[in-house]
Chains A and B, each alone.
Chain A
Amino acid sequence: MISVRRKQRVDPTIPSASMGDIAFLLIIFFMVTTTFSVDKTNVSLPVSFNRVDVERGAGVIAIERDGNLHFTSGEEMSREILINDLVALASQVIVADPAHVFIIKADTDTRYYYINQVMESLRDSRVVNINLLTMQRKTPL
């Protein structure tokens, strides 16, 4: 006697009960980690091994390779400015917050001449805390 057993077919179904949970988790994750950058100037940053974090809300002074300047106090989007305007703009920020941090986002090939001009303006504005933005160097020199 041949006993024919029918194999019980199990329908392959992926349980979708947790789909909603995963969707909300992803949404919350990206809501928390998304930061809005105040400066979108495209520069090729120099590299350094030693780096220090900057707090949120720091001002940004972007110096392009050819010397074009972009400025933001940290609260609004950056805009292109002339070197002569930098003292007034930075002073305004320092009057309200003397310890305000300014990030200098300069291209690695920018001539020191332009950096010097910005530094002079920042001295005149009584800026104290500066952070020179860099990318991470993998090994120390």
Chain B
Amino acid sequence: MALKISRKKPASEVSTASTADIAFLLIVFFMVTTVIAATKGIEFKLPKEEKNPQQQQVKKLEAVHIKLFQSGGFTVDKNPMNIPSMKQYVQQKLESSNYNKFIIIQCEDNVPYGNLIEILDILYGMKAKNIAIPTKREIEEWGVL
């Protein structure tokens, strides 16, 4: 009598030896291809057409004028200053006008953009509300600065 001894068939297994390899390959692939999209920056609003040009002129006369030079230095209301003294001066002006004081920034042609951003960054940090960067055309029109 032949006894059928049923052998348990070995369960078919998926080899998992390469799981770690695949995981690392995927990680490296996505690390290399992911681009960190820089979408943050300094917000700046261009002025809409001012309805009252006289009022605009008055605001500009009373404003704090910051002029940047290509040497890297800058003047505030025609006085050369460094960053700490500029911060102090502007802070005083802002506090006395409830942060509504206009700050006009003017740059010479060869001033690097980074310098302008530095000044803007400081002014935003001080919560200045009205910052104007007039174009050369506007400066010529005003003739005040």
Give chain A's interface residues, CB within 8 Å of chain B.
13-14, 16, 19, 26, 30, 33-35, 37, 45-54, 58, 63, 103-104, 106-113, 115-116, 119-120, 122-123, 127-137, 140-141
Shortest beta-carbon contacts, A-B, top 8? A108-B114, A48-B121, A133-B41, A46-B117, A51-B40, A46-B114, A112-B107, A113-B109
Sampled A-B contacts (18; CB under 8 Å): A16-B14, A16-B16, A19-B19, A35-B37, A51-B42, A52-B42, A108-B117, A109-B113, A110-B112, A112-B113, A113-B109, A127-B46, A128-B48, A129-B43, A129-B45, A132-B42, A133-B38, A135-B38
**Overall SS of chain B's interface:** mixed
Q: Is the CB of A37 within 8 A of B35?
A: yes
Contact with A along B91-134 (1 / 0, CB 8 A): 00000000000000001111111101110111011000000010
Closest-by-CB residue of A relative to B123 is A50
Query: Do B125 and A140 touch (CB < 8 A)?
Result: yes
CB-CB under 8 A from B79, the residues of chain A are none
Q: Residues of B with Cβ closer than 8 Å to A?
A: 13-14, 16, 19, 26, 30, 34-35, 37-46, 48, 68, 83, 107-114, 116-118, 120-122, 124-125, 133, 135-137
A53 and B40 form a contact (CB under 8 A) = yes
Rounded to whole angstroms, the CA-CA distance of A141 and B13 in the bound complex is 61
What B residues does A34 contact at CB under 8 A?
34
A-B contact count (CB 8 A): 138
Q: Which of A30, A108, A111, A128 is close to B46, meaning CB atoms less than 8 Å apart?
A: A128
| Cβ of A133 to closest chain B Cβ, rounded Å | 4
Quick one: closest A residue to B139, CB to CB?
A: A116
Q: How far is it, in angstroms, between the C-alpha of A120 and the C-alpha of B121 when the chains are bound? A: 22
- Bound: A123/B16 CA distance, A: 62
In chain A, what residue has the closest Cβ to B39?
Answer: A54
Residues of B within 8 A of A45 (CB): 38
| Bound CA–CA A133/B44 (angstroms) | 11
Select B116's contact among A33, A49, A112, beta carbons within 8 Å: A112
